Amino acid sequence: MKIQKINILTFVFMIIGLLTISGTLTVIKLVGLPQTTGDGSNLIQNTPQSSGADDYDMGVSVEDFRLNNYTEDYQRYPSVCALTEDSFAAAWESNGPDDEGYEIYTSVFNANTGTNMTAEFRVTFNRTNGQRYPSVCALTEDSFAVAWESEGQDGDGRGIYASVINATTGTNMTAEFRVNDYTSNDQKDPSLTALSEDSFVAAWESGGQAPGQESYFYSSYGSVFNATSGTRITDEFRLNNYIGFHQEDPSITALTEDSFAAAWESGGQDGAQNEVYANIFNATTGANMTTEFRVNYNITNNQDNPSISALTEDTFVASWVSFGQDGDREGIYGRVFNATTGLNITDEFRINNYTSGYQGDPDVSALCDDIFVATWTGEGLNDKNSGVFIKLFNATTGANITKEPLVNDFTSNQQTTPSITSLTPTKFTIAWHGKGGLFSPNIWEIYASTYFFVNVLENTSPAHYGFLPSDISYGLGESGNEIQWNFTDDTICNPTYTVYNNSVPIPEHTNKDWNSGVPITVDVDDLAVGSYNFTIFVNDGCGEQAKDEVIVNVEEPQDTSPSDDLIPAYPPLLLIIVTLGSIAMGGLYLIRKSKR
């Protein structure tokens, strides 16, 4: 057979016809598939913040305002707790208002102005001997609990008593009640933490109560109380497993409504003098949830006077005093722990930069999941007079993120024994007792200051990593359709998200926790034909929020019968004419060519 050479023009006509058919089929194939949207303008960048100490500053809302109205004799040992983001309660011991020795007084304050929101009032009913060393914890924005040690009231030495206070009226909501069940010898140094608005934990040290322990050695005990009635929910239980010379000076912090962490100083437990130990407890039963673990890594000399604060339900920060570790007398050290395992998350780190002289009386308070503030008494900066200092830390690394400013404005005398409480993730109040004020320069009085952050936790709203998810279209009955968001945030506190379908919250995606960088996936299968608006609100818990919307269209299923597959999606007649015409012209040309 003779092979004919194909003219260039013939080849072009045939190719046009084939491409036209192919193009028609391609258009049919793409009909109904989801269309993607988004370009570089939709890419939301997440800029990490620097963790350098010079990049984080603090401002003062109100400084050095006096808490006690009565100014005669001594007012000392304040304890503070936040009620709202703008108010706090304070309790302290006061010597002399009623000529009955030390008694416990309290008042509620506006944290932004320093003014009293209630009159100063006496908490203690019993006025014999002395009532000292209060500890407070907030239950609601309108109520708080106060505990203290009372001399001789329980019949033998000191005992622990408590009461619940109405923060609006400044009146007792319960009669004062005894906290310790065991009354022999001394029970002292109370510490409180709220589990819920109706319950709280009290901890204290008790002399001679543990098996084989002499009356002058102490173990730490705890009990859970109903805040409405003041009645005991659990029997008192020992916090320390090891019984030695002394296990005393407990500090506690609630992790959940059913669990709390406790730390105390223990004498001679690992062959050292004093060390700090901790454990996690079930608040319903008082049973240990972890094995007792040592908080401090360094075991040379003494480690004592712990203070702890929960960061999340699974983590807490501990601080303590360590003798000689910073090169000159006492220094303040810290560490962050996993509350589920008792394992340390960070290495031990020094809290105080300035190391000369005494650094003691630490207290810590979590601001959000990964930032906490530490305060302590330090001497040596002002002609050996002590002052109160603060510093912020990254709880993930243990690195300081601010310098350590002096809190007290009066520097002519001693300022000491601070207590701190977080009002918001960016604001806290600190109280202390000091001499040298304008009103009574030689008398101990209670002062406080409220701080806020400058250039920290600002402009760090949750940001989406990469492209935002596109709108979705799919046919009724098709599966495998989902929306996936991936938000990140450098500073998150108690982050939650909620997804709405046409303004109705989806139960399995309502007020749920999220982690920075972990995708949030929402299944959008099994919807009826129609259009749906899926909106997500992401809160970082530090006051910042992000929002995104995705439209999901569910369409009637496409008719995929063979006769319909060849029906083009755009003007068909012209395509058919062009296709057939091109092929016919090519064929005629070949026939004419062969007859020649």
pLDDT of residue 419: 98
DSSP helix/strand/coil, 20: helix
Mean predicted confidence (pLDDT) in 449-457: 72
Comparing 24-38, 328-342, 380-394, 464-478, the range with the smallest average pLDDT is 24-38
Mean predicted confidence (pLDDT) in 60-74: 90
Note every long-range contact of 494-498, with CB atoms under 8 Å and residues 24 or more positions apart, other chains counting.
494/312, 494/368, 494/369, 494/541, 495/369, 495/462, 495/538, 495/539, 495/540, 495/541, 496/538, 496/539, 496/541, 497/536, 497/537, 497/538, 497/539, 498/536, 498/537
* Average model confidence (pLDDT) across the chain: 84
User: What length does the chain have?
Assistant: 596
pLDDT above 90 coverage of the chain, percent: 65
pLDDT of residue 229: 95
Q: Which of 224, 291, 295 is nearest to 256 (CA)?
A: 224
Mean predicted confidence (pLDDT) in 267-272: 81
| 529 or 26, higher pLDDT | 529
Mean predicted confidence (pLDDT) in 344-357: 94
| 449 or 12, higher pLDDT | 449
Mean predicted confidence (pLDDT) in 247-261: 98
At residue 209 the predicted structure's pLDDT band, cuts being 50, 70 and 90, is: very high
Give the pLDDT confidence of 210-233 residue by residue, as tens digits: 999 998 999 999 999 999 999 999
pLDDT of residue 28: 26
Q: Which domains does the chain have, with CATH numbers?
A: 8-28+559-595 (no CATH), 32-49+460-555 (2.60.40.10), 53-454 (2.120.10.10)
At residue 437 the predicted structure's pLDDT band, cuts being 50, 70 and 90, is: low
Rounded CA-CA distance 46/480 in Å is: 29
pLDDT of residue 502: 95
Using the predicted structure, report yes or no on whether residue 33 has a pLDDT greater than 90: no
Fill in the DSSP letter of residue 288: B
pLDDT of residue 495: 82
Using the predicted structure, report yes or no on whether residue 534 has a pLDDT greater than 80: yes
- Specify the pairing of strand 445-454 against strand 427-434: antiparallel
Tokens 């619940």 found at: 164
Interior/surface letters 199-225, b for 16+ CB within 10 angstroms, e for the rest? bbbbbbbbbbbbeebeeebbbbbbbbb
Mean predicted confidence (pLDDT) in 396-401: 90
Comparing 50-64, 200-214, 350-364, the range with the smallest average pLDDT is 50-64
CB distance 152 to 160 below 8 Å: no
| 578 or 138, higher pLDDT | 138
Using the predicted structure, report yes or no on whether residue 551 has a pLDDT greater than 50: yes
At residue 571 the predicted structure's pLDDT band, cuts being 50, 70 and 90, is: low
